[in-house]
Amino acid sequence: MKFRAPAFLAFALAAALPSSFALAVEKGDAAPTFHATDFDGRAVDFPAVAGGKPTVVVFWATWCPYCKAFMPYLKNIQADYASYGVKIVAIDAKEDGQGDPKAYVRALGFKPIAVANGDAIADDYGIKYIPGVLIVDGKGMVVWRRPWTDLPAGQQVAQLWDKQVRTALNELLK
């Protein structure tokens, strides 16, 4: 049997990766299911909580200026698409221990399905940067994922993401 160094090297590298390493969930992939709790200790099971309806999934943190800029737009998205049954699932992840996520959610001015302590969920989705924003259809498939941008935090990037989310939802709801 002939030894194949490239194949062995690839296998060795894959075996050496941490078990928590996950590839990013992309458009066309099944959204990972999760069982978590909200900020009041109630169970949140995804995708069951979506009830077969499209869901905007956002990974956020209290320290994130991009999240602070985008949250008011999520409020409007939730209001504008409520008649279609669209849900907003806001998953707190990658906190630095300085903020109060429960108070943050309560101060948003709208009520997303808010998940506490979502680091493991973020890992399952391959979220490296906050905010992570995805749209999952009623069948549990990812139909859109926020692309990378080099825009600074603020209204311009929040408006861009708002437009992208609305475009993807409009396409999905045709």
Q: What is the pLDDT of residues 133-142, one digit of tens each?
A: 999 999 999 9
| 85 strand-pairing partners | none
Domain locations in the chain as residue ranges: 31-172
Residue among 146, 149, 147, 122 at smallest CA distance from 22: 122
At the topology level of CATH, where does 31-172 sit?
Glutaredoxin (3.40.30)
pLDDT score for 22: 52
pLDDT score for 42: 96
> pLDDT tens across 2-44, in order?
545 444 434 443 433 443 445 788 899 999 999 999 999 999 9
> pLDDT tens across 142-152, in order?
998 886 777 66
Q: Residue 22's Cα: distance from chain center in Å? A: 14
Q: Which two tokens stand for residue 39?
A: 């900020």
